[in-house]
Amino acid sequence: MPRSSARHHPLPWLPVLRGALFALPLLFLAIFYLYPLATIIAFSFRDVGWAASGLTAILTDSYFWGVIWFSIWQAALSTLLTLLVGLPAAYVFARYALPGATLLRALATVPFVLPTVVVAAAFAALLGPQGLINTLLQALLGRQALLNLQNTLTLILIAHVFYNFSVVLRLVGGFWANLDPRVEEAARVLGASRWRVWWEVTLPLLLPAVLAAALLIFLFTFTAFGTVLILGGPRFATIEVEIYRQAVNFFNLPVAAALSILQIVITLALTVVYTRLQERASRPLELRPQAVTRLPLIGWRRRLLAGAVIALIAVLLLLPLLALAYRSLTLGGRWTLAYYQLLSLNQRNEFFFVPPLTAVRHSLLFAGATTLLALLIGVPAAYLLTRRGALRAIFDPLFILPLGTSAVTLGFGYIITFDTPPLNLRTSPLLIPLAHTLIAFPFVVRAVLPALRAINPRLREAAAVQGAGPLRVLWEVDVPIVARAVLVGAVFAFTVSMGEFGATLLINLPQYPTMPVLIYRFLGLPGVTNYGQALAMSTLLMLVTTLGFVAIERFRLGDIGEF
Amino acid sequence: MPRRSIMLLLALVLAACGTGATPTETTPPAETPAAASPSAAPAATAAPLEVTSVTTEQYPATLTIMAHDSFNLSAEVVAEFERANNVKVQFLKAGDAGEALNRALLTRGNPLADVFFGVDNTFLSRALQGDIFEPYAPQGLDQIPAEFQLDPQHRLIPIDYGFVNLNYDKRSELFRDIANPEQLPLEELTKPKFRNAVVTENPATSSPGLAFLLATIDYFGEERWLDWWAQMRDNELVVVDGWTTAYYTNFSGSSGQGPQPIVVSYSTSPAAEVYFSEGQLTEPVTGNIFPPKAAFRQIEFAGILKGTPNRELAQRWMDYMLSRRVQDDVMPQMVVYPVLPSAQIPEVFQRFAPLPPQPAQIDPETIARNRDRWIQEWTRTVLR
ipTM for the predicted complex comes to 0.83
Q: Which of residues 172-211 of A touch B (CB under 8 A)?
A: none
Tell whether the torsion through CA atoms of A457, A458, A461 and A466 is positive or negative: negative
Nearest beta carbon to residue A415 from set B106, B256, B273: B106
Q: B156 falls in which pLDDT band (50, 70, 90)?
A: very high
**Chain A contact set for B335 (CB, 8 A):** 525-526
pLDDT attached to residue A505: 61
Quick check: A532 contacting B, CB < 8 Å? yes
- Asked whether B98 and B207 are in contact (CB, 8 A), the reply is yes
Interface of A with B in 204-263 (CB under 8 A): 229-230, 233-235, 244-245, 247-251
A477, A455 in Cβ contact below 8 A? yes
Tell me the helix, strand and coil percentages in chain B, rounded to 5: 45, 15, 40
Residue of B nearest to A527 (CA): B273
Q: Judging by beta carbons within 10 Å of its beta carbon (0-12, 13-18, 19+), is residue A215 exposed, middle or buried?
A: buried
CB–CB of B138/A284 below 8 Å? no
For A558, residues 6+ apart whose C-beta sits below 8 A from its C-beta are none
* DSSP-assigned letter for residue B251: B
Q: Which letter does DSSP use for residue B183 in this model?
A: G
Q: What is the DSSP letter of B115?
A: E
| Cβ within 8 Å, pair B12-A375 | yes
Q: Across the interface, do A476 and B276 touch by the CB < 8 Å criterion?
A: no
B179/B239 Cα distance (integer angstroms): 28
Instruction: Give the Cα-Cα-Cα angle B241, A246, B205 (nearest 5 degrees).
Output: 15
Give the integer Cα–Cα distance in Å for A501 and A516: 6
Q: Which of A332, A330, A333, A358 lies closest to A343, judged by CA?
A: A358
CA closest to B373 among chain A residues = A250
| Beta carbons of B272 and A526 less than 8 Å apart | yes
3-state class percentages of chain A: helix first, strand second, coil last, to nearest 5: 75, 0, 25
Write down the pLDDT at residue B88.
93
pLDDT of amino acid A63: 86
Greater pLDDT, B353 or B37? B353
Query: Residue A19: what pLDDT?
Result: 85
Residues of B in contact with A417 (CB under 8 A): none
Going by DSSP bridges, is the β-strand pair B198-201/B157-169 parallel, antiparallel, or unpaired?
Answer: unpaired
With an 8 Å Cβ cutoff, are B1 and A229 in contact?
no
At residue B300, the 3 state secondary structure works out as strand
Q: Which residues of A touch B15 (CB under 8 A)?
A: 368, 372
Asked if B255 lies within 8 A of A469 by C-beta distance, the reply is no
CA distance A4 to A327: 67
CB atoms within 10 A of CB A453: 18
CB of A427 within 8 Å of any CB in chain B? yes
pLDDT at B39: 31
Q: How far is CA B135 from the centre of its chain?
A: 22
Q: Which of A345-349, B50-54, B284-288 has the highest mean pLDDT?
A: B284-288
pLDDT of A556: 60
Among A419, A429, A505, beta carbon nearest to B107 = A419
**Residues A223-254: tens digit of each pLDDT:** 988 888 888 888 888 999 999 888 888 888 88
Asked if B193 and B275 touch (Cβ cutoff 8 Å), the reply is no
Q: Give me the amino acid identity at A246.
A: Q
Quote the pTM value.
Answer: 0.85
Partner B, chain A 11-50, Cβ-Cβ below 8 Å = 43
State the best of B32, B202, B250, B255 to mutate against chain A, taking most chain A CBs within 10 Å: B255
Q: pLDDT tens, position by position, for chain A (563 residues)?
A: 444 444 445 567 777 888 888 899 999 999 999 999 999 988 888 766 655 567 777 788 888 899 999 999 999 999 999 999 999 999 999 888 888 888 888 899 999 888 888 888 888 878 877 777 877 888 888 766 667 777 789 999 999 999 999 999 999 998 888 888 888 888 888 888 888 888 888 889 999 999 999 999 999 999 988 888 888 888 888 999 999 888 888 888 888 889 999 999 999 999 888 888 888 888 777 776 666 677 777 788 888 888 998 898 888 888 889 888 988 898 877 898 989 998 888 878 888 888 888 999 999 999 999 999 999 999 999 989 888 777 777 888 889 999 899 888 888 888 888 877 777 777 778 888 998 999 899 999 999 998 888 887 787 788 888 887 877 877 777 777 788 889 999 999 999 999 887 666 665 566 778 898 888 888 888 888 888 999 999 999 999 999 998 888 877 654 444 43
CB atoms within 10 A of CB A60: 9
Q: How confident is the model at residue B14 (pLDDT cuts 50, 70, 90)?
A: very low
Per the DSSP assignment, residues forming a β-bridge with A96 are: A295
A190-to-A184, A186, A198, A202, B69 alpha-carbon distances in Å: 10, 6, 14, 15, 66
- SS3 state of residue A535: helix
Question: Whole-angstrom Cα distance, residue B181 to residue B187?
Answer: 13
**Ranges of H-type helices in A228-355:** 239-244, 253-281, 290-293, 300-313, 319-328, 338-343
Confidence (pLDDT) at A5: 43
With CB atoms and an 8 Å threshold, state whether A247 touches B126.
Answer: no
**What chain A residue is nearest to B329 in terms of C-alpha separation?**
A350
Which residues of chain B neighbour A510 with C-beta distances below 8 Å?
91, 93
Residues of A in contact with B107 (CB under 8 A): 415-416, 419, 426
Contact between A223 and A164 under an 8 Å Cβ cutoff? The reply is no
What are B202-215's pLDDT values in tens digits? 998 888 999 999 99
Q: Are B93 and B85 in contact (CB under 8 A)?
A: no
Q: Which of A323, A311, A276 has the alpha carbon at shortest distance from A130?
A: A323
Question: Do B117 and B71 form a contact (C-beta atoms < 8 A)?
Answer: yes
The closest alpha carbon to A201, from A181, A216, A221, A177, belongs to A181
Query: Residue A295: helix, strand or coil by DSSP?
Result: strand
Cross-chain residue pair A229–B94, CB shorter than 8 Å: no
pLDDT at A227: 86
B228 pairs with which residues across the strands? none
User: B332 to chain A: nearest residue by CA?
Assistant: A348
pLDDT exceeds cutoff 70 at B24: no
The answer to whether the Cβ–Cβ distance between A528 and B98 falls below 8 Å is no
Nearest chain A residue to B167, by CA: A526
